[in-house]
Amino acid sequence: MAHKLYFDNVDTRNATLTEGVILEDSGAGTYSFSSGGASIGNEERLIDLQLNAHVTSFGASANDTLQFDLGSAKTVDFMAIYFRGEEVDNLRVHGDDAASGNTAVQHDFTSDFSVGWNIAAFTQASYRYWLLEALSGFLSPAEVFFGEAFNIATLDISITKPFNSFIASAYDNTEFSNKIDTELRTWTINIPLLTDDDKTQLELLQTNYSNLHTFVYYDDSAYHTVRLAKAITFNQVATNTYSATLTLQEESSA
């Protein structure tokens, strides 16, 4: 079962953002980026760890592109992008070793975007500069981050839906229930074996996100917006080997 966590483990939130344009080089199937010439509005909202506001004026008609400078080459195999509403637009993800010039196309994201997190997964690559190019329409994402997916090696997962209904009894002892909020799941995930590197990644998740910010959990069938409901507990089971328990709380969509 391919359960995964998607979170910002390459420090996207501290990236330097540069507006620019990407143009195809004379129909050769290669692309190059240059700064300036774009009119993206409120781009800082993409890395503020908040989901309640989105960028504006990010459109394909002007070949708008936003460059994320991670400060050094970082290994990445996905980009996560959050939308507060459904969108029928396309975008392309590029990587680059330099601040300008030819880019390496990583992924064409041509599916309609759903409410919540959308994941563009691609072959692992290492670049300092990662770029988001508008291909059609006017994109209005609220958050973007890059990273390397964390694979969860376990089959020990329990799911609960607490505090989602009110149960009462009538005078004749007939019971009835009313839903009092949206049914939101809690996943308790027991991971029996973690390496030192795995433990470091989960500690990074806990430090950077705590229970304040959302990320993505993939349960082998769907992507879920979640946050940490409890601190992660680690136990050493052998030299440089650990077990851990994660408790993830589902968040409602925008």
The string of pLDDT tens digits covering residues 27-45 is 677 899 999 988 899 999 9
Give pLDDT, residue 176: 56
Closest of 96, 107, 121 to residue 6, by C-alpha: 121
DSSP-derived 3-state class of residue 220: coil
Give pLDDT, residue 254: 53
Do the beta carbons of residue 166 and residue 142 sit within 8 Å?
A: no
Q: Please tell me the distance from the alpha carbon of residue 196 to that of residue 72, in angstroms, as a whole number.
A: 23
Do the beta carbons of residue 143 and residue 6 sit within 8 Å?
A: no
- Concatenated DSSP letters of 132-153: EEEEESEE--SEEEEE--EEE-
Tell me the mean pLDDT in the region 96-104: 94
Do the beta carbons of residue 18 and residue 67 sit within 8 Å?
A: yes
Give pLDDT, residue 145: 97
Q: Please tell me the distance from the alpha carbon of residue 232 to that of residue 203, in angstroms, as a whole number.
A: 8
The string of pLDDT tens digits covering residues 30-87 is 899 999 988 899 999 999 998 999 998 898 888 899 999 999 999 999 999 999 998 8
Fold observed for domain 8-149: Jelly Rolls (2.60.120)
Tell me the mean pLDDT in the region 181-185: 75
For the domain spanning 151-250, the CATH number is 2.40.30.200
Query: In the block, which residue shows the tokens 């800082």?
Result: 44
210: left (phi over 0), alpha (psi -120 to 50) or beta: left
Give pLDDT, residue 54: 93
Domain boundaries in the chain?
8-149, 151-250
- Concatenated DSSP letters of 235-251: EEEETTEEEEEEEEEE-
Q: How confident is the model at residue 180 (pLDDT cuts 50, 70, 90)?
A: low
DSSP-derived 3-state class of residue 198: helix
